[in-house]
Structure 1
């Protein structure tokens, strides 16, 4: 056997081989060469780069091999340790990165653990963000302060991002505000957290603050496509079309409007702000070869939410062969079939799925069958699933039972929900409504007494409408708006005008044991009616009215919106909890199926 090559020569040879490693067998052979040539200990830089590449390999056995390699080192360096941390943080089990940081996967007490640095903390923070582990992020923040890493802008930005992704927006803002130096990544981290969390309005305020000063910023700190995507996400969440148009225009100004991620965010924003035409315009502007799976998923979701099930199926069928549908694709198509009543098409899609169906797909099928009144099939789907039904599935069946007045099935679903520990207001309200629709007022009172004893409160209905860039909120029976008296007078005029078109209040939608006149009064001041009335007096004739409602719109409000669209020559778009309704010339895009 020839003698092993000189260490320097071996290191140079291995350096050339490193980029060519593609299989686990290659990695193992390379590891053997490291051991046999003594490069393992004499060239720690090459060793760490190999460990890093091994830990990040796509092969499922590569990461465990990397951890074994790390444990076999007599004195692992910080770079070795960081390579394993990074691989674990990016793996399907990021929490193991936090365990490794705590020293639980290393021999103890010897050899002594390697010294931590900013990279160690950065990888650990990314892991805690992926786990949504706010406690771990807080502990890492304390460690960061103890190690004196606060001047590291990238590390502090990762801390902001981790807090934001864990839902601790107050801490994210505090860390951001205390930063002496910020770059665009810092702004983006906070902006994305606010936009995707509970403070989208604050996210837009932050975006406008950044945009207002961007001409004075150095090039490396200017807003980029990540900034735009986060801002568009905020617009989509609150349904602000005017802000969305502004962000789109700004994207054109900085030259990122053609970026496919920006285009996907624009499709989502325009559809959720009620402008399906603009959403599809953006989708069709993307060259076919540049469209991604996210592009198709977002477009299919857009047409599905707006009730165009046929278009959802067409987009699904037109997906190029090099793009494989995923779980999200099938959910989007099934929802499109749901909202359009395309039961047979939906079942065909479900039974031809090329991915393993999960509980959401079964839920979509239960909803599909339930909406169509095929309640026995919906129930059979639940009990025949390969895994136990969750709370959402039984709530879906309860909703279907309420829609079709099936008391027995509603009681069964309610019992299952009670067994699963569900205690949300919607369960009680649906069951109460089933009883009320059959005038079983004693049962209604019993359900409401149970709600009170369990301290469950009904979520109030509210609606938003955007007028001249300002969001106006209305609650059922609201008299808090500065122009409430004008709004109420407008409602009286509306009822008179649509009465000429044959409107009669659908008092069956008022599920209380009260008189007919009281029921009519209760119907008159639902939040979406107040929002529409305000829109009519606050905008010029012919302007489209857009309303966002937190609950499902009731049958009477649906009829009223159709008649207003005809009587006043307006397009009215209502985004409720589940979908969009576009009212025009007395008709709704849902074709009265929702």
Structure 2
């Protein structure tokens, strides 16, 4: 943190201001003393008065402060910076405060005797990054940095704030360009770029970039990564389910005596959950002496995605008993946990308790979980009623949940309504069309399948290819459906043939309804055989330790036939197979799945 020494710092009146002023009366009395002693004529005492009042709990603090500021005899850049900083630090709950901060910044530009400096911009960039509506203002501010600051004035704080701003606006290419212009970045700048790429947690390419950047940090400088660096790294490993790299990061933190604080531990919980090591996640959680709601949320969410709804309920009760009030994220995790194991009444009770018991206003994510809960249980008309009566406009996630439920329960009428809404919201998302096509196929309505496929073709929509990724020996292997680009492709397809023979011996009949309608039955079965996760499993069977679990990440939802066949493969080859699909984890072992076929 940048500090400035000042002869007024030990002044007794300022000490009283900082330590004893709590009410409007005491502030006014101290304010009067600052005026009568002449301290008001000096910038530092005036800024202390302003920042102390704004950091108080007084409801009138902002208006009182602005009155003091407007009466100041000598308004310097330092005084403006203090007020802008205090407003955005203590009062940045509404867009109006960002407007006020920019209004003050505009006043700086109008006063000919002063100009903005490197202290002016970082908090303004932070404010712009907090709301997408301020993207253009942030860009204009960037132009002002280049206009008003000399190259030597653009320090690491300004550079870091720029990188953070552009990352929150999704401009990751700009972030990297800015970072690459810095000849000798310090640890703060390295953490800024690592955190910038880590900001979009669902993008695998960005997560891979975090791993590459972290490697560059270690190779290219004598700077030692700290806890902030490792939070970004571990989060990236969690997103990629990169267990080997993640366990290395955990070991490094322990060996270098870095602090296993709540942020690091929460990242580690997500890592082990996403890699399928739920027991490791629970161990890290249990060993943290000082827990917070974020740690509890991560562990509750971990149980939920692995299908352990009852464990989520138990942990929620423990969290509340220890005095931690649930937040929005907690309730999403709890309703989702109930959804994945069919606890419909309990899930509805959690939703209703948000407002009544915990004072939380349900958001669109909570309504989405509620619709998913009801849809999975076959209560499609009730789910439809929730969507129609919710206080905000339903998003694509809600309609997609409903469409998926209609596929499982065969309600064509609601499925067609859901697709119509999805085409309005996401006209280019192929999965929506495929879901409805599968509903038609299951009901042998091939004209409907043809109509959906024609609609996709007319709109230039191509089906998103299925991809599966697994890690063996620290190396990642990615497979597409019917992929033949892997160096060991010939062995993989031989193993696929062997798997199919054994599946038939065990009585498996391929479920071909969801495969393209214009293929012959034999071709449809072949198409299922070459789904990306089948190729990944085949490769793991020939390339990994036969006693180790097979861990696969899939970008799409597991199809019914792959789910059935993987259960049998786990029994035939005596291998535990853990598949993380777009929705949840499936742990296949001894011919059964942890989801109990409820997904």
TM-score under structure 1 length normalisation: 0.90
User: Compared with structure 1, are the counterparts of its residues 446 and 85 closer, same or farther at alpha carbon in structure 2 (3 Å cutoff)?
Assistant: same
Q: 1:574 aligns to what SS in structure 2?
A: strand
Q: 1:113 to 1:363 in 2, by over 3 A?
A: farther
Deviations 1:383-402 (A, max 9, x none): 23233333322222122112
Q: Deviations over 1:399-443 (max 9, x none)?
A: 211221101111222333455575532332222222222222222
Q: Which residue of the other structure, out of 392, 397, 408, is the alignment partner of 1:392?
A: 397
| CA distance in 2 between partners of 1:73 and 1:412 (Å) | 63
2:51 touches 2:82 (CA, 8 Å); kept in 1? yes
Question: Partner of 1:167 in structure 2?
Answer: 170
Name the CA distance, whole Å, in 2 between partners of 1:382 and 1:116.
50
Confirm or deny that 1:311 pairs with 2:311. yes
In structure 2, relative to structure 1, the CA distance for the partners of 1:309 and 1:61 (3 Å cut) is farther
Matches within 5 A, 1:404-483: 404-418=409-423, 423-483=428-488
Q: Which residue of 2 aligns with 1:119?
A: 119
1:481-526 Cα deviation digits (max 9, x unpaired): 1111111100011111232222221112325243211211111100
User: 1:4 maps to which residue?
Assistant: none
Residue pair 2:312, 2:337 contacting (<8 A) in 1 also: yes
Q: Look up the SS of the partner of 2:75 in the other structure.
A: coil
- Looking at structure 2, the residues matched to 269 and 125 of structure 1 have their Cα atoms a distance apart, in angstroms, of 31
Change (3 A) 1:108 1:241: closer
- The 1:254/1:566 distance shift into structure 2, 3 A limit, reads same
Which moves more between the two structures, 476-485 or 410-419? 410-419
Q: CA 1:359–1:59 in 2, change beyond 3 Å: closer, same or farther?
A: farther
Distance in 1 (CA, whole Å) between partners of 2:363 and 2:428 is: 24
Instruction: Report the CA distance shift for 1:420/1:202 in structure 2 as closer, same or farther (over 3 A).
Output: closer
Q: Give 1:533 deviation, angstroms.
A: 0.6
After superposition, give the CA deviation of every residue in 1:347-371 in whole Å (9 maximum; x if it has no partner).
2222222112122111111100100
2:567 aligns with: 562
Structure 1 Cα separation of the partners of residues 23 and 565 of structure 2: 65
Specify the alignment match of 2:508 in structure 1: 503
State the distance in 2 between where 1:73 and 1:453 align.
Answer: 67
For the aligned residue pairs, the C-alpha RMSD in angstroms reads: 2.6
Worse-matched range after superposition: 254-263 or 460-469: 254-263
How far, CA to CA, are the matches of 2:474 and 2:96 in structure 1?
Answer: 43
Q: Distance in 1 between matches of 2:429 and 2:59?
A: 41
Give the aligned partner of residue 344 of structure 1: 345
Instruction: Structure 2: state its 5+ residue gaps.
Output: 1-7
**Which residue is 2:275 aligned to?**
273
Quote the residue 2:234 is aligned against. Answer: 232
Equivalent-residue separation in structure 2 for 1:321 and 1:29 (angstroms): 42
Pick one of 143, 153, 156 that aligns with 1:153.
156
Task: Report the Cα distance in structure 2 between the residues aligned to 1:334 and 1:555, rounded to whole angstroms.
Answer: 24
Cα pair distance change 1:411/1:17, threshold 3 Å: same
Task: Name the CA shift for 1:421/1:573 in 2 (closer, same or farther; >3 Å).
Answer: closer
**5+ unaligned residues in a row in structure 1: which ranges?**
1-7
| Aligned equivalents of 2:466, 2:598: Cα separation in 1 | 21
- Give the SS at the match of 1:117: coil
Check 1:329–1:60 CA distance in 2 against 1; reply closer, same or farther (3 A cut): farther
1:239 Cα offset (Å): 1.2
Q: Which moved more, 1:85-94 or 1:242-251?
A: 85-94
Measured at CA, do residues 71 and 531 of structure 1 come closer, stay the same or move farther in structure 2, by a change above 3 Å? Answer: farther
Are residues 108 and 236 of structure 1, via their aligned partners in 2, closer, same or farther at CA, if it must alter by over 3 Å?
closer
SS for the counterpart of 1:507 is coil
Q: Which residue of 1 aligns with 2:13?
A: 13
Answer yes or no: is the 8 Å Cα contact 1:56–1:63 preserved in 2: no
Q: How does the TM-score come out when normalised to structure 2?
A: 0.90
